[in-house]
Amino acid sequence: MRSIWNGAISFGLVSIPIKLVNATESHSISFRQIHVSDGGRVRYRKVCELDGEEVPAAEIGKGYEEADGSIVPITDEDLARLPIPTAKTIEIVSFVPAEEIDPLQMDAAYYLAANGATAAKPYTLLREALKRSRKVAIAKYALRGRERLGMLRVVDDVIAMHGLLWPDEIRQPEGVAPEASVTVREAELDLADALMATLGEVEIASLHDDYREAVEAMLAAKTGEGFEPAEAVVEPAGGQVIDLMAALESSVRAAKASRAGGPAESATEAEVTPIRGRRTPAASAPAPKAVGGKKSTASTGAAKKTAAAKKTAAGGKKSTATAKGAGGTKSGSGARSTKSASASGAKSAGTGRASAAGATAGTGTAKKAAPRKRSSA
């Protein structure tokens, strides 16, 4: 691998010549800007504002712009004469536990390679000291025109250095956290722990960039003129909130099934809780009973019981005549009592108590009416 910087590690009075090598590389696909009408590439020209002519790279230098807009030229010689001890040295300033480094400070990563045979012994000494102490080294170094902060740690048998942001370059997370007060239940935390334990078993080496692979497949298809863009499926945003407990339970089941090699459950199996205030009408509400019109079943049954009671009390033809009078004729007090009992049962919407009262009244009246007819005969 090609080195991008040569210098030395300053470890007290020990100096270790090293070469700086990039530990990471970008696999992202870059695009060029083109003229849409004819496909010609669009390039940026570096033009001087004073004479309007394009300036080649060899004639481009550095300058600092003052508040009034004037430019102060800065040469490489000016920067080289600055009294910075880290210009060509990675100066270790302390050793700290790795957990004290905030991951937000992590920047680019580099490998430090021993530069020459004389660097092998001190290089190995520092590497083994870092391993045994289980700490990382905090260092200062200069790269690309500025002094930087770094962290040295051991990766396999190599010393790696992570560029760190300065503490004042980390912004405070003001106004980022949710403003509303939210209470999380223990049951929800237990399900979240179970989901974390299941998903945490994945191997980092097995992860890959799906987007880059899709772009590469698209480019290969377009080159072969066999590419047909597929429309993205956009889920419509509905007025519903997913039940957090149901979603967690479904996620745990799906993750376990995926780890076991079985079919993963669909995410749509999670229950959905409607938003408060948007109630759906009942599917089947009982229809109100009709008032008036036909007599209720209870009233009809009461009338039949009344007629049977009259037949028993009167007996023979006379009882039949009395029953007829009670069933709907105008003569006799028994008929009037039967009508009042039936009307009372209809007005009370068919309640059993009113019908029973009407039946009792009708029976008593029929018994009194029968003896009077026999005496007159």
**Which residue has tokens 């910087």?**
5
Give the Å distances, CA to CA, from 129 to 126, 134, 154, 281.
5, 8, 10, 73
> pTM higher than 0.75, yes or no?
no
Tokens of 69: 């807009």
Alpha carbon 234 to chain centroid, angstroms: 16
Count of alpha carbons within 13 Å of 319, Cβ hemisphere only? 13
* Most confident of the following: 104-108, 224-228, 241-245, 290-294: 104-108
* Most confident of the following: 2-6, 113-117, 302-306: 113-117
Q: Which of 343, 342, 347, 338 is nearest to 365 (CA)?
A: 338
Over the stretch 186-211, which tens digit does the pLDDT of each residue have? 999 998 998 888 877 777 888 888 88
Q: Which helix (DSSP H) or strand (DSSP E) does residue 263 occupy?
A: none
pLDDT > 50? residue 100:
yes
Q: Are 252 and 242 in contact (CB under 8 A)?
A: no
Task: Give the residue, 211 or 347, on which the prediction is more confident.
Answer: 211
Residue 178: the pLDDT is: 87
Query: What is the maximum alpha-carbon separation in the chain?
Result: 150
Q: Is 326 exposed, middle or buried (0-12, 13-18, 19+ CB in 10 A)?
A: buried
pLDDT > 50? residue 350:
no
Residue 324: the pLDDT is: 42
Residue 257: the pLDDT is: 81
The mean predicted confidence, pLDDT, of the chain is 74
CB atoms within 10 A of CB 252: 20
Task: Give the residue, 254 or 97, on which the prediction is more confident.
Answer: 97
Predicted confidence band of residue 77 (pLDDT cuts 50, 70, 90): confident
Over the stretch 263-314, which tens digit does the pLDDT of each residue have? 544 444 444 444 444 444 444 444 444 444 444 444 444 444 444 444 444 4
Instruction: Find all residues with CB under 8 Å of 60, minimum gap 6, and list them.
Output: 46
Residue 249: the pLDDT is: 84
Predicted confidence band of residue 73 (pLDDT cuts 50, 70, 90): very high
Residue 303: the pLDDT is: 46
Cα gap 364→306, rounded to integer Å:
10
Phi, psi dihedral angles at 87 (to 5 degrees):
-60, -40
pLDDT > 70? residue 236:
no
Predicted confidence band of residue 368 (pLDDT cuts 50, 70, 90): very low
Q: Are 272 and 329 in contact (CB under 8 A)?
A: no
Q: Are 154 and 53 in contact (CB under 8 A)?
A: no
Q: Name the packing angle between helices 316-327 and 297-314 (round to 10°).
A: 150
CB atoms within 10 A of CB 221: 13
Cα gap 259→256, rounded to integer Å:
5
Phi, psi dihedral angles at 110 (to 5 degrees):
-135, 155
End-to-end CA distance of the chain: 137
Predicted confidence band of residue 13 (pLDDT cuts 50, 70, 90): confident
